[in-house]
Structure 1
Amino acid sequence: MTIKRGVSLYSYQNETFLGKMTLEDCIRTSVELGAPGIEVIGEQTFWGWPEAGVADEKIAEWHQLIAKYGAVPVAHDFMLDYKRYKGREMPFDEQVASIRKDIDFGARLGVKYLRALVSIAPDVLVAAAPYAEEKGVKLLIEVHAPLHFDHPWIVRHAEAFEKSGSDALGFLPDMGMFLAAFPPVWKERFIRNGVPQHIADYIVKAYEDRVLSEYVILNVREMGGTGPALAMAETLRHNAAYEPKRMLDYMHRIHHIHGKFYQMNTDLVEPSIDYAKIVHVLKQGGYDGYICSEYEGNRWIEDAHEVDSVEQVRRHQEMLKALIDGPATNAIAA
């Protein structure tokens, strides 16, 4: 068993939005990069979803491309923004029905996993689980910063999943919750937005020192920071360097992973996320699912630089390949 590699087509959002890459381009490119696992967001890849249905010919095209390039359909990310549905909160039964609709869609795509937003209540997922079992897919709640595996909301999901006894319920960790350092591309963007250099330097150092976010925000105010400076400080409320080892207690329900990254340098290093430590822990836990690259650095550079998502994903995949193929160690990373 070994960890497998894939790409979330969300990584290519700039290129697809600007018409530089078609669905075929996205699938072909991912496979050429050695990452045959394909993850999609319905709204991005299939125009009109979920309000409108997806025509059979579009699903046929998807399967034709998957077969043509030897790709593997892995996951469909669904939203269920039930708090803002048509100006009202969606009732429980409608939430379950909405998930069943996404389960049907995922089954049509041939994926094994559906990413559920972390805002979805556990009882809604438990209620949808029997239908997921029937369709042969799993519903995976995304553990995404600022949440983590010790957060009460995630613990509540874990307890509900175990009580249900359903194998169709699990977790999808997003590697952005293991943000070991303040991303350089974030800092550079905030400076371009008007944050004074000394305040930007302070926030980065405060993040490195794990200073409580509320103290950082207060200190930035006292330093005269306003607007962009406070926005930069606010990022500390929503990001932290949580511990990858916490995944080990949940490994029996972890079936898919978002390989979040903000930048890959030419030396194949993500400067803010310790992927060596993460992959080490996954090996310790016997994880053999996919890690799908999820590039989100585009929004931090597009004001100043041409976005090259393909090159960024290529570097990320090269890094993952080296770490996955590298030797495992006996000691769990500290």
Structure 2
Amino acid sequence: MTYDIKRGVSLYSFQNDTFLGRMNLEDCIRTCAEMGATGIEIIGEQTFWGWPEVGVAPEKIAEWHALMAKYGTTPVCHDFMLDYKRYKGQPMPFAEQVASVKKDIEFGALLGMKFIRSLVSVDPEVLVAAAPFAEEKGIKILLEVHAPLHFDHPWILRHAEAYEKAGTDALGFLPDMGVFLYRYPRVWKERFIRNGVPREAADFIEAGFNDRRLAEYVVNDVMLKWGPGPQMGMVETLRHNAAFSPKRMLDFMPRIHNIHAKFYEMTEDLVEFSIPYDEVFAVLKQGGYKGHICSEYEGNRWVEDAQEVESVEQVRRQQLMFCNLLGETMPQTLVA
């Protein structure tokens, strides 16, 4: 059986390689195409120098479209930022927030994107006000549902209610799979140990997360047993991550149009250590999801102090997992 779920990659996955000059834009797009992951998602600030402060030169936009045509890839989503709380020392005025979102809508349309990603902190009223312009440009604004928030969080429900009340199809959601963290990531634990957390404390914190203990109790126990120190940084992660159910996406599926396939560690047997992607894909299939699922590798920051970051290999493994879960024939470039 075939599904309408399409494979893609957020170029955010290659941030170490691009920052260090090991990969340029064409390298990133070619790598994705070779994996059969033809949907391309970007963060404008990472991919296009000067965005949004000074704009992007027309020749860079032309290069983008030329690369899309050369490698048979599809622009999917531009992840925009709206840092309205750090604007000239005070919150950005409402009208300027809306104008900023409109600027990113225009940029996304210029790149041929169908979606732009909004940070979860943006007020629903801002996105509702920008929605008519998004409709004009053929763009949907997708709020990222990102840990520690989840689909039953009051803030997400407030957004959902505002979208329905506005009566627009230009507003939706982009779930980040990090909200379904079923096991404490191994790469997190080892990084915290390298940062000075006693292994006994790290084992205790990991067990607390995996046993679904109330985070506040684990925080208190760690303070009592080990006192202040780096272990408090590790245990704080329990307040911001949890094992929510992928089934909660079903009620929101009509407004879900793109997905961040967050991952921290793909093992050699093609399993993400912490996130149950078999359950995730079962829910997506059940809900009739028809958009892209884009690899978003964030394990780099947890291993870069101890080893070479292997972003391409990690993305390759996740894309192979996607093929397995979708029943797709694996591209030879992925298997080799």
Task: Work out whether the TM-score is over 0.5.
Answer: yes
**Residue correspondence of structure 1 range 32-181 to structure 2 within 5 A:** 32-181=34-183
Residue 216 of structure 1 corresponds to: 218
Residue 284 of structure 1 corresponds to: 286
Residue 293 of structure 1 corresponds to: 295
Distance (whole Å) between structure 2 residues aligned to residue 141 and residue 271 of structure 1: 26
Distance (whole Å) between structure 1 residues aligned to residue 216 and residue 85 of structure 2: 27
Corresponding position: 1:15 with 2:17: yes
Deviation, structure 1 residue 224 = 1.5
Distance (whole Å) between structure 1 residues aligned to residue 225 and residue 63 of structure 2: 56
Residue 305 of structure 1 corresponds to: 307
Residue 190 of structure 1 corresponds to: 192
The counterpart of 2:234, out of the listed 208, 212, 232, is 232
Counterpart residue identity of residue 197, structure 2:
V
Q: Deviations over 1:110-148 (max 9, x none)?
A: 000000000000010000000000000000000000000
Deviation, structure 1 residue 60 = 0.2
Residue 27 of structure 1 corresponds to: 29
Q: Deviations over 1:77-136 (max 9, x none)?
A: 001010001222101100000000000000000000000000000010000000000000
Deviation, structure 1 residue 280 = 0.3
Distance (whole Å) between structure 1 residues aligned to residue 188 and residue 227 of structure 2: 17
Distance (whole Å) between structure 2 residues aligned to residue 178 and residue 86 of structure 1: 36
1:84 alignment partner, SS class = coil
Counterpart residue identity of residue 10, structure 1:
Y
Distance (whole Å) between structure 2 residues aligned to residue 295 and residue 34 of structure 1: 17
- 8 Å CA contact 1:174–1:257 kept in 2: the answer is yes
- Give unmatched runs, 5+ long, in structure 1: 327-334
Distance (whole Å) between structure 1 residues aligned to residue 189 and residue 323 of structure 2: 28
TM-score between the two structures when normalised by the length of structure 2: 0.96
Residue 334 of structure 2 corresponds to: none
TM-score between the two structures when normalised by the length of structure 1: 0.97
Residue 330 of structure 1 corresponds to: none
**Residue correspondence of structure 1 range 199-278 to structure 2 within 5 A:** 199-278=201-280
Q: Deviations over 1:10-32 (max 9, x none)?
A: 00000000000000000000010
Of 18-27 and 212-221, the range deviating more from structure 2: 212-221
Deviation, structure 1 residue 34 = 1.2
Deviation, structure 1 residue 227 = 2.1
- 8 Å CA contact 1:199–1:225 kept in 2: the answer is no
Deviation, structure 1 residue 292 = 0.3
Q: Deviations over 1:58-77 (max 9, x none)?
A: 00000000100000000000
- 8 Å CA contact 1:173–1:258 kept in 2: the answer is yes
2:85 alignment partner, SS class = helix
Distance (whole Å) between structure 1 residues aligned to residue 227 and residue 315 of structure 2: 35
Distance (whole Å) between structure 2 residues aligned to residue 200 and residue 127 of structure 1: 46
Deviation, structure 1 residue 225 = 3.8
User: What's the Cα RMSD here?
Assistant: 0.8
Distance (whole Å) between structure 1 residues aligned to residue 72 and residue 235 of structure 2: 45
- Give unmatched runs, 5+ long, in structure 2: 329-336
Distance (whole Å) between structure 2 residues aligned to residue 206 and residue 115 of structure 1: 33
- 8 Å CA contact 1:113–1:139 kept in 2: the answer is yes
Distance (whole Å) between structure 1 residues aligned to residue 217 and residue 49 of structure 2: 44
Distance (whole Å) between structure 2 residues aligned to residue 33 and residue 195 of structure 1: 38
1:170 alignment partner, SS class = strand
1:38 alignment partner, SS class = strand
Counterpart residue identity of residue 257, structure 2:
H
Counterpart residue identity of residue 204, structure 2:
Y
Deviation, structure 1 residue 186 = 0.3
Distance (whole Å) between structure 2 residues aligned to residue 80 and residue 86 of structure 1: 13
Counterpart residue identity of residue 281, structure 2:
V
1:96 alignment partner, SS class = helix
Distance (whole Å) between structure 2 residues aligned to residue 67 and residue 117 of structure 1: 29
